Amino acid sequence: MAFDLETTGISTNNDRIVQIALIGSDSVGEAVNYETLINPRRAIPSGASEVHGIYDSDVKGLADFSKHADEIHNLIENSVIVGHNVRKFDMPLLENEFRRIGRLPPKPKAMMDTLEIVRRVKVGRPHNLGSLCQRHGISLDNAHTAAADAAASLLLFWRLTMDHALMFRNSLEEIERWLIHGKSSTDDSNLGRGLNDLEMLDNLGKIRIDDGHYIIAFGRHRGKHLAEVAQIDPSYINWLLSPSGIEDEDARKAIREFLS
In the prediction, which pLDDT does 143 show?
A: 67
Tell me: do 36 and 160 sit in the same domain: yes
Tell me: do 202 and 158 sit in the same domain: no
Do 211 and 147 form a contact (C-beta atoms < 8 A)? no
Tell me: do 95 and 220 sit in the same domain: no
In the prediction, which pLDDT does 169 show?
A: 83
Tell me: do 235 and 113 sit in the same domain: no
Any domain includes 177: no
Tell me: do 162 and 202 sit in the same domain: no
In the prediction, which pLDDT does 62 show?
A: 98
Digitized pLDDT (tens) for each residue of the chain, 260 residues in all: 999 999 999 999 999 999 999 999 887 788 999 999 999 999 999 999 999 999 999 999 999 999 999 999 999 999 999 999 999 999 999 999 999 999 999 999 999 999 999 998 888 888 999 899 998 889 877 667 899 999 999 999 999 998 888 888 888 988 998 898 876 544 444 444 566 778 899 888 899 987 778 888 888 888 888 888 888 888 999 999 998 899 899 999 999 999 88
In the prediction, which pLDDT does 142 show?
A: 65
In the prediction, which pLDDT does 112 show?
A: 97
Tell me: do 231 and 118 sit in the same domain: no
Any domain includes 189: no
Residue 223, domain extent: 196-259
Last residue in a domain, options 128, 149, 168: 168
In the prediction, which pLDDT does 183 show?
A: 60
Counting Cα atoms < 13 Å in the Cβ hemisphere of 76 gives 27
Tell me: do 7 and 58 sit in the same domain: yes
What is the rounded distance in angstroms from the CA atom of residue 144 to the CA atom of residue 152?
11
167-174, Cβ contacts within 8 angstroms, sequence gap of 24 or more: 167/120, 167/121, 167/223, 169/193, 169/194, 172/80, 172/109, 172/110, 173/110
For the full predicted model, state whether its pTM sits above 0.85.
no
Tell me: do 230 and 159 sit in the same domain: no
